[in-house]
Copies of this chain bind each other. A is one copy, B any other.
Amino acid sequence: MNNFNDLQKLVENQINTLNFDLEPDNLYKPIEYSLSSGGKRIRPVLALMAYELYRYDVEEAVKPATGLEVFHNFTLLHDDIMDKSDMRRGKPSVHKKYNLDIALLSGDAMSILATSLINQAPRNQQKIMQAFTRAALDVCEGQQYDMDFESREFISEDDYLKMISLKTSALLAVSLKTGGLMADAPYQDIDALYKMGLSLGLGFQLQDDWLDCFGNQAKFGKPIGKDILNQKKTLLWIEAHEKAEETDKKRMQNIIKDTSLNNEKKVDTVLGIYNKLGIPEQTRNTISSCFDEAESYLSKLSVADTKKTILRDFIRYIKNRTY
């Protein structure tokens, strides 16, 4: 069985064999640019880890698994347009480097390319396509909720968790499911793999939100408190806002407009409220239980426990990441 790095390398090689030396340049070069800008390739690696629980011929699964990465990068490309994000992984985003029309159309082509790769699954191709298109629609729903929430003053914990389940967890879940389906795993295992992915995705996103507040800035690679400054209503914000006394509540609501404070001071003030209310610990507990749940689904799989080590290590690695 291959470890994370081995599988990542298989995906990387597969991406490099996709030929983007095609005409018209303005359609294919942005796709190449988008796919070459790194990322951990988590989704295809998860698919391949699931596949290797049941079969040894992992090379059969690399191309369709890579389709999941292409789809993920397509969503980032279009999200950057909608979120007006000019940078992605330290480089100009596609719509900045090229233009909006080119980013829109090359994104469309990436979504189709992803479908075409996933369609090359060695087994259960129709079921995989059904699961994939469902998850892909989930991702769209999640992105639309995320945009809708921007203009709503308050959202509930449940609203937030539903949104990130759709936007982030669905694709991770279907990646594990696709790996299981490609290997023709038993029905109960397919179900457990999907649910494992949902829990893992939730933990992953909440971890991301936590690190945005309490991570090591140098390691995390993003400025601390970006979500606070963007008035993003993450779980931390929602829980703090619920628990806070009236004065702190008002402070949280109005701090961004407070021209007497610089950004650092604004972030410090909100983090101070979070700390006072025990939000960091509360969130860490929620995150832990997501990862514990993911592990509990892993233990349900019908394969020998020794085969599960790589996936278990991966779940713990994600849980313990500090950036």
Contacts and interface: CB of A to CB of B under 8 A. Distances in A.
Interface of A: 23-24, 26-27, 78, 81-82, 101-102, 104-109, 111-113, 115-116, 119, 125-126, 129-130, 133-134, 136-137, 140-141, 143-145, 147-148
Contacts of A126: 119, 125-126
A144 B125 CA distance: 30
Contact of A27 (B23, B106, B112, B141): B141
Given A82-B105, A104-B81, A119-B133, A23 B141 contact: yes
A78 to B, nearest CB: 6
B112 A140 contact: yes
Residue of A102, A105, A113, A148 with highest tally of chain B CB at under 10 A: A105
B125 A112 contact: no
A100 to B, nearest CB: 8
A236 to B, nearest CB: 23
Contacts of A78: 104-105, 108
A111 B113 contact: no
Which secondary structure characterizes the binding site on chain A? helix
Top-8 shortest CB links A-B: A116-B133, A27-B144, A109-B140, A119-B129, A82-B101, A112-B136, A24-B144, A125-B126
Nearest to A128: B119
A108 B145 CA distance: 15
Contacts of A106: 140
Contacts of A24: 141, 144-145, 148
12 contacts: A23-B141, A24-B141, A26-B148, A78-B104, A78-B108, A105-B140, A108-B140, A115-B115, A119-B130, A119-B133, A126-B126, A129-B129
